[in-house]
Structure 1
Amino acid sequence: MVERQVRSAVVTGASTGIGEATVRRLAQEGWKVWAVARRGERLEQLAGDTGAIPVALDITDDGGVARMVEQVAAAGGIDTLINIAGGARGTDWVADARTDDWEWMYNVNVLGTMKLTRAFLPMLREHGEGTVLNLTSTAALVSYEGGAGYNAAKAAQRAMTRALRLEEVENNLRVIEVLPGMVYTEEFSLNRLGSEEAAEKVYAGVEKPLTAEDIADIVAYAVSVPHHVNLDEIVVRPVAQAAAHKVVRKG
């Protein structure tokens, strides 16, 4: 009998939302998973539930990233990097833009993704059939009032993803982008808007917005199909959201 090779991945943003759901889904399917996020206590609970390896880390910290790569390499390495860490802050128009919010969004969504990818590329190239999946957003495709900072950060992350696909094809590296629309998660809108009341209004009246588990299912499928199959770009929205400007709300 041929022994089945265990797939292995680093998943960022693993302490909540889509990142956490992705860790749970991959672990359920038998993957070896490093779960990466800043909040170590949440990771420890996730590790207890799933068997994932917790790595408490700020992905923008170069030294921390380098130490994690060493840790992963010593444990056998990975074939897949899943960059989910990111987020939005504020809804200010450009005229009232808060520099701190814009810098945070760029650092986490763009520089964090770049630093993780840059650090793991040698390992993924050496594997021969490596995969990088970046979670961006439909905010990268369509701009809207009050979204300029997030639009800009996600558009930059998308541009980097598309360039990476061109740069690494000679190394047989598969590069996937998943672009979710309206996803109801525990913290995304709360962190962006600052209050439970404001966060709930985002989803008010929307029948069946997407869930973190919905996106985790798509991520898991995209990285599990045979390596020669590359789902370059996956745009996913709830049925109620026909477009960024067209959302059906009932009641």
Structure 2
Amino acid sequence: MSSPSLPPSPFRGQGRVAVVTGASSGIGAATAERLAADGFTVVLAARRVDRLTALAERIGGRAVQLDVTDQSSVDALAAGLDRVDVLVNNAGGAFDTAPVADADLDSWQRTYDVNVLGTVRVTRALLPALRASGAGDVVFMGSTAGLVSYEGGASYTAAKHGVHTLAETLRLELVGEPVRVMEIAPGMVRTEEFTLNRTQSQERTEAVYRGVREPLVAADVADVVSWVVTRPHHVNVDLLVVRPRAQAAQHKVARDPE
């Protein structure tokens, strides 16, 4: 006897407004595309407005130029929104692989400002609208780097640990209010820019993924974002870690022999 099929989630899309930061490429762009397909009205926010505009036109969303490191830019985003139901804090990145002994503090500053302070700026600015929605969602795009440290990753792991504790703290502070706080922590995800921005070398970028059978791609993470924000609103997915099957842990990755 077959099991009865589950009814569709009552929270799927239905015109809810989702703001996705860092939406010009990678996970952000894939998330914007997926949420639009799910029926959300999507506001795509990032610095590279040319890319945003092309994607927004294709998926029927709205492009807004945003620099999360600039408070006036964040304020302008908030002022231009009448309603926000979902905020996907995706803007971020890694910019070096230096050990602590050789730390480039300018890189550390940039990493912290984009990943942590930028996330705080946007969350603080949009929280009144999320509360007013009566069923708001804040999604933090964390990383397994926010749960486990590794050599050569100190600036990024420190920043993502900051994002992790930011999500935990906000959830405590908003308990009892109609706003969910959820964190997604991806492991190895192959996108067109993330590792290249970090290593500044195409050869080193290729080496990261060499021999790894089916690393995650941006669409896989977008699928997870869609799932957490379309659960019934009494269900809060505090933390969801997602890795490719080939990656059991930060240092444990199966690679095919060359």
Does TM, scored on the shorter chain, surpass 0.5? yes
Q: Which residue of 1 aligns with 2:27?
A: 18
Query: SS where residue 81 of structure 1 aligns?
Result: strand
* 2:164 maps to which of 158, 164, 185: 158
Q: Which residue of 2 aligns with 1:40?
A: 49
Q: Which residue of 1 aligns with 2:78?
A: 69
Q: Which residue of 1 aligns with 2:234?
A: 228
Give 1:45-194 correspondences, 5 Å limit: 45-73=54-82, 77-194=83-200
* 1:27 maps to which of 15, 22, 36: 36
**CA drift at 1:48:** 1.5
Counterpart residue identity of residue 46, structure 1: L
**CA drift at 1:197:** 1.2
Q: Which has the higher helix share?
A: 1
Counterpart residue identity of residue 214, structure 1: D
Counterpart residue identity of residue 168, structure 1: L
Quick check: 2:213–2:246 contact (8 Å CA) kept in 1?
A: yes
Q: In structure 2, what is the Cα distance between the partners aligned to 1:239 and 1:221? A: 19
Q: In structure 2, what is the Cα distance between the partners aligned to 1:55 and 1:201? A: 35
Superposition TM-score, scaled by structure 2 size: 0.93
Deviations 1:69-119 (A, max 9, x none): 11112xxx1111000010101110000000111011100000010000000
* Unmatched segments (≥5 aa) in structure 1: none
Query: SS where residue 255 of structure 2 aligns?
Result: coil
Deviations 1:167-219 (A, max 9, x none): 01222210000000000001000000002111111100000000000000000
CA RMSD of aligned residues (A): 0.9
Q: Residue 201 in 1 paired to residue 207 in 2? A: yes
Query: SS where residue 176 of structure 2 aligns?
Result: helix
Quick check: 2:14–2:39 contact (8 Å CA) kept in 1?
A: no
Count of aligned pairs: 245
Query: Which 4+ residue blocks in structure 1 deviate beyond 4 angstroms?
Result: none
Superposition TM-score, scaled by structure 1 size: 0.96
Quick check: 2:189–2:216 contact (8 Å CA) kept in 1?
A: yes
Q: In structure 1, what is the Cα distance between the partners aligned to 2:231 and 2:126? A: 21
